[in-house]
Chains A and B, each alone.
Chain A
Amino acid sequence: KQEVTQIPAALSVPEGENLVLNCSFTDSAIYNLQWFRQDPGKGLTSLLLIQSSQREQTSGRLNASLDKSSGRSTLYIAASQPGDSATYLCAVVSGGSYIPTFGRGTSLIVHP
């Protein structure tokens, strides 16, 4: 059974800092991994999707990397802004079953 862990659970930083959010998974036989953002009480917004054959994806100030062999993905946020405050979730789609497993998320607060 796939298990996904996100560290840290919460993070509070001043504006302008570069951040790294971590996602680890137990079964390396994955199909893809997706990072999402969730604002309080809202649905999820897709940030980046990394296929199992890829090592990283970039979108603006966001960069996500994937290391299947070690069961890890990181989301790098450059020059953080107060508008980045949200919960960040990673979801791993397991190969074969194609069932996605989510972590519990990292709650991020960026202070002005």
Chain B
Amino acid sequence: DAGVTQSPTHLIKTRGQQVTLRCSPKSGHDTVSWYQQALGQGPQFIFQYYEEEERQRGNFPDRFSGHQFPNYSSELNVNALLLGDSALYLCASSLLRGADIQYFGAGTRLSVL
């Protein structure tokens, strides 16, 4: 049984560009959450998707948007990239809209130059 998978593993972009990150949840999980982790910090909650809708959102600007597909996989889109968007982006899947144990992927390392 595959766990949470994320792609790509690394990405280099320049300021102003747009990026799309992808996540496939653990088999049987219906809830996907996205996090941003800067170096030396704990993960910061971006948003959570359940039943193809954004259910909860953290303190992130509208440049950060997402989507969940009928097979529960999800995308994170970031527009107009800033240098400060450089971070490890983590995806987590769970049941019960996050009330149960969260399982994390290995993350996508985004570098904005």
Complex CA gap A32/B98 in Å reads: 10
Would you call the interface of chain A mostly helix, strand, loop, or mixed? Answer: strand
Are the C-beta atoms of B99 and A99 separated by less than 8 Å?
no
Are the C-beta atoms of A43 and B41 separated by less than 8 Å?
no
What is the size, in residues, of chain A's interface with B at 8 Å between Cβ atoms?
Answer: 24
Complex CA gap A97/B99 in Å reads: 11
- Interfacial residues, chain B to chain A (CB-CB below 8 A): 4, 6, 33, 35, 40-45, 48, 56, 58, 88, 90, 92, 97-107, 109
What residues on B are CB-neighbors of A101 within 8 Å?
45
**Looking at the complex, which one of A34, A42, A89, A105 makes contact with B101 (CB distance below 8 Å)?**
A34
**Looking at the complex, which one of B58, B100, B103 makes contact with A99 (CB distance below 8 Å)?**
B58
Are the C-beta atoms of A43 and B106 separated by less than 8 Å?
yes
4 closest residue pairs by CB, A with B: A102-B42, A43-B104, A44-B104, A43-B106
Are the C-beta atoms of A43 and B107 separated by less than 8 Å?
yes
- Interfacial residues, chain A to chain B (CB-CB below 8 A): 4, 31-32, 34, 36, 41-46, 49, 89, 91, 93, 97-105
Are the C-beta atoms of B42 and A105 separated by less than 8 Å?
yes
- Given A97-B56, A99-B45, A103-B42, are A32 and B99 also a contact pair (CB < 8 Å)? yes
Are the C-beta atoms of A93 and B99 separated by less than 8 Å?
yes
